[in-house]
Structure 1
């Protein structure tokens, strides 16, 4: 029998590990999260799939590149961390080959650590669910963490998939839903990211809690002089500045976004639109700007890996325009209100909840890009109203900083898993 190390957290997720300068590493934002976890736990054991180098190189050379990797040995909490590489096995054949040995390894780590937190997603390849099955067998309490409604995301994107993938995913979806619900029912605590996740999963959980993915600090929140400067530019009839930060992928609705820009241009709005982010649809976006005749109004920046520049872009813009098409909990909306940039886009429980108390957002039904364009035109015509939204967004953003949210989720884990 392994001895349990007190005040230790085992986190099993689907965030890939990669070799960085001869050492295991993670993406920079996950590393920032580890520093916060380490403020609340004496020891952290992080288990995730080891990204094969040939796949990492393919991703790096593709239009979806953009991950900034960091060796964990360079983190201030490095002496508190243990990384456990797991097989990268998202194909059934690969998964079945390594299943027994990996489950044995997870059993060992579960018995060594006091607190358990597992990210639940797909049955094949995502080891958080397998760790949960092992914890159930060992009668150990665990936290089920879900960051998006995976079966809904896949369901809404089915039509864009090749026929073979569409058939496979259609057969897979009912199994995924039952699998997730079973693991949630058996958990002692559920951490569900954003209101869309919370509404989908909380009915099946003993202790459900809504959390947020935040990587901004209190020092990142927009200051009063910057708010005043932004509002002054609005009231001085400067061009309307709108932006978006995220991947140019189907689920983000980039082509709807451009159609909104086109419609508001045709309505006579003097607008400057900026999209920050790379992705598989970026070339199609560039082509569509030419086709619509709005290339001089739209700046497709591409990938930016400096968060301070991203936040500055949000601080300088009047509207954060988004066209998200799936029930997820994108961090960019949090960063936007932290930056005093009102969120204007397709409504969802997540976006509405972010500004439910103090305001700072305006929404239209999903996929109605014409109505979204009309809303932007309306806000441009009523700039005092838009100025009010800017102040409300900044107020709503004051409640989102990583120190606070990691403290809260750590406290919940210790409360319900003790």
Structure 2
């Protein structure tokens, strides 16, 4: 029996005597189990009521013997981290020695159990992979506020995290790097980097042929519908997003826009919309836990507009293509790879708000081009489904890591 040891980025929640986990992570656990006989999954655990998108693991079939969950204390609380680190290292080593393959997800800041797990594997000669879905050091650098103290704090956290990124990549036998943007940023630090993808949609989640036909039929006459779903965080460029809407409104573009997601920038974005007098055109429904509701939002959009300010590979871009919604936003390697596959969008340089507003206004004016982009989006990313991307990552792990029992 082949056992896979992994660390999780999303936390567990202990509530009413059960462990809960977010839906996407549960989807990932089930996908891994299609390729390994047993999964040992480790993650930070919070003793509090879980968010709406979480479900009890037992009810989802995540139970022994196929799954073993290791709930860990909050390492980001530094007193807890220093008090429990040795104990957690021993638990990691025991679990790794009972596994055939080891792959850990990396955050980077002090208290990240993924970094601890990678260092345990390295010290004990255990072949292991590290997984990155964004460049965390860059995210932390971009999170600094306008004050000197905030900027200094962000710079320190970014520097510490960048060093952790370099150390774990240097020590790992395999680096799994999600998306072209993350790959280009981190591959030079690894001796065995591999470009991989991450998505939790299947072919059956794509927009249906009748729905696509209805969407295309509405393109010529309907007001432009702009959508986005994701955290309202500084790295997502929410204030840029609203500023683009202000500019196209001044150009006379008829549009509606919706951003589904919660976060620390949401109030600032809402205030910016109110100041611009766009409350009737722009809506913020907040966090949407219903996956089907998010897919319907994307399917109803004429374009996904995004203003990502850091190097990451957000799944929402792939999900938009599955919904036949073109990608219009800031250029990076990940977005460019998705757009150029079928020509399903338009990208401008990161931070160029004027160019993005001009591109959106042009599409509002040229409905023939917009319809063509919708059709191209519908043909895009067919190779990116949950089954295919997890099979790909599992094959890479098995081909590049020698099972622990075979290590001399």
Q: Name the TM tier (shorter chain).
A: over 0.9
For residues 294 and 309 of structure 2, the distance between their equivalents in structure 1, rounded to whole angstroms, comes to 22
Provide the rounded CA distance (Å) in 1 between the counterparts of 2:280 and 2:333. Answer: 35
Equivalent position of 1:191 in the other structure: 176
Give the structure 1 partner of residue 132 of structure 2.
146
Give the secondary-structure state (helix, strand or coil) at the position aligned to 2:46: coil
Give the TM-score of the pair, scaled to structure 1.
0.91
* Structure 2 match to 1:9: 4
Following superposition, the deviation at residue 115 of structure 1 comes to 0.5
The aligned counterpart of 2:145 is 159
Task: Return the match for 1:380 from 346, 364, 376.
Answer: 364
Distance (whole Å) between structure 1 residues aligned to residue 200 and residue 23 of structure 2? 10
Aligned-partner SS, 2:340: coil
5+ residue gaps, structure 2, are: 403-408
What is the DSSP-based 3-state SS (H/G/I as helix, E as strand, rest coil) of the residue aligned with 2:324? coil
After the TM superposition, which of the residue ranges 34-43 and 90-99 deviates more from structure 2?
90-99
Match of 1:217 among 202, 206, 219: 202
Residue 359 of structure 1 pairs with residue 343 of structure 2? yes
SS at match of 2:175: strand
Alignment of 1:41-190 (within 5 A): 41-53=36-48, 67-79=52-64, 80-160=66-146, 163-190=148-175
**Range with greater deviation from structure 2 (88-97 or 343-352):** 88-97
Once superposed, what is the RMSD of the aligned Cα atoms?
1.8
* Match status 1:337 vs 2:332: no
Deviations along 1:158-206, one digit per CA (max 9) or x if unpaired, are 235x654543442343332232222212222111111121011111223
- Please report how far the alpha carbon of residue 359 of structure 1 lies from its aligned counterpart in structure 2 after TM superposition: 2.0
How far does the alpha carbon of each residue in 1:90-113 deviate from its partner, in whole angstroms, 9 at most, with x for none? 143332211111111111111111
Deviations 1:13-57, CA, capped at 9 Å, x for gaps: 33211114311121111011111111111000001111143xxx5
Checking the alignment, whether the CA contact within 8 Å between 1:91 and 1:124 is kept in structure 2 is no
Q: CA deviation at 1:296?
A: 1.4
Are residues 1:324 and 2:319 paired?
Answer: no
Find the partner of 1:247 among 212, 228, 231: 231
CA distance in 2, matches of 1:321, 1:208: 30
Match of 2:269 in 1: 285
Determine the structure 2 residue equivalent to 1:201.
186
Q: Distance in 2 between matches of 1:67 and 1:249?
A: 19
Instruction: Deviation per CA, 1:287-322: give whole Å up to 9, x if none.
Output: 222211111111222221111111111111111111
Maintained 8 Å contact 1:143/1:191: yes
Q: What is the alpha-carbon distance in structure 2 between the residues aligned to residue 17 and residue 77 of structure 1? A: 13
Structure 1 stretches lacking a partner, 5+ long: 1-5, 61-65
Contact 1:20 1:70 in 2 (8 A): no
| TM-score, normalising length: structure 2 | 0.93
* Cα deviation digits, residues 61-116 of structure 1 (max 9, x gap): xxxxx552111112235331111011202143332211111111111111111100
Distance 1:76 1:97, change over 3 A: closer
Contact 1:14 1:127 in 2 (8 A): no
1:106-132: per-residue Cα shift (whole Å, max 9, x none)?
A: 111111111000112214111111111
Q: What SS does the corresponding residue of 1:89 show, helix, strand or coil?
A: coil
**In the superposition, relative to structure 1, how do residues 154 and 67 fare at CA in structure 2: closer, same or farther (>3 Å)?**
farther
Matched, 1:22 2:24: no
Shift of the 172–317 alpha-carbon distance from structure 1 to 2, 3 Å rule, reads closer
SS in 2 for 1:113: coil
